[in-house]
Amino acid sequence: MSTTTLELQYFFDPLCGWCYASAPALAGLAKQHGAALRMMPTGLFMQPRPTALIAEYAWQNDQLITTLTGQRFSEAYRLQVLEAANGVFDSTPLTRALTALGEQNAVLQAQVLHVAQHTRYVDGVDTSQAEAVAQIVADAAHSAGRDLNPDEFAARLREDEFLAEATARRVDLAQQAMRALPPGGVPQLLARVDGEPHVFAGQQLYGGPQRLLERIQSLL
C-alpha cells in the first residue's frame, strides 16, 4: 500500500508584515502538519537600517494589512517600535533565534515566530533587539518545559559565530530554493505532494488555516 508524502516549505522573514498576515495559516499548518513543515527564512530584512527611514511606509502598509486581513497593529507598536529614537530595523536576532530553536525543536519555530510577531505588532516590543528576542524564546522554552537563560541566549544571538554561520547557510539555502518559485516575495508556501510542487501565496495564506488545510488535504 503506497503512502502519500508531504513536504511543506514556508518562506518568510520574521519582520515581514505580510508574513504576520499569514500567521493564522502557519499556526494551522504547524498544528496539522508539523512533521512535514520546514521554516525557510529568506533574510529579507537582515541588513540593519534605521527604522525612521521606513516608519511611515511601514505604518501605511500595516494599515493595508489590517484592512485586508484583520491582523492588528497597535499604537504601542507605532510609538515604541516604528517611532523609537535610534530604532534599528533588523531581523537578524529573530532569524538566528529560530535557527537555534531548530537545533532542538523544529516545530517550536513556528510557535515562537507567532509569539514574536504578536509581541512586536500588538505589545509594542522591539524584536530587532537581541534581549527582547531572547526573552520571548526563554518564555517559550519555559512553557515547553525547558530552562533557558535569556541573558546567555541574547549573548549567543549577538556573538556566537557558529550560530551566525548556521543562520547564513540556512538563509542561503532558502534564497536558492525561492528562485524556483513565482516572483512575489514572502510569504510563500511550497507544498510537495509525492514530489509534485504546489505553490501557495497571497490571499491563499491570508485567509486563515481552514481553506489552506482543505486545499492541501485535497492534494493528498
Instruction: State residue 49's pLDDT score.
Output: 96
Task: Find cell 512575489 and name the residue.
Answer: 184
pLDDT in the model for residue 1 = 46
Q: Which positions ≥6 away from 94 have C-beta within 8 Å?
A: 14, 15, 113, 116, 127, 128, 133
What is the full per-residue pLDDT of the chain (220 aa) written as tens digits?
A: 458 999 999 999 999 999 999 999 999 999 999 999 999 999 999 999 999 999 999 999 999 999 999 999 999 999 999 999 999 999 999 999 999 988 656 678 999 999 999 999 999 999 999 999 999 999 988 887 888 999 999 999 999 999 999 999 999 999 999 999 988 899 999 999 999 999 999 889 999 999 999 999 999 9
Sign of CA dihedral 165, 116, 88, 189: positive
Query: d(Cα 205, Cα 211) in Å, to the nearest integer?
Result: 9
Q: What is the pLDDT of residue 144?
A: 77
pTM here is 0.96
Per-residue pLDDT reduced to its tens digit, 82-126: 999 999 999 999 999 999 988 656 678 999 999 999 999 999 999
130-139 long-range contacts (CB < 8 A, ≥24 apart) are 130/93, 130/154, 130/155, 130/157, 130/158, 132/93, 133/93, 133/94, 133/97, 133/157, 134/97, 136/97, 136/112, 137/97, 137/100, 137/101, 137/112, 139/115
pLDDT score for 85:
93
Domains and CATH numbers, the chain: 6-219 (3.40.30.10)
**pLDDT at position 62:** 97
For cell 509569539, what's the residue? 115
Residue 41 CB contacts under 8 Å (≥ 6 apart), including other chains: 12, 13, 14, 91, 95, 98, 99, 167, 170, 171, 174
20 neighbors 121 (Cβ within 8 angstroms) = yes
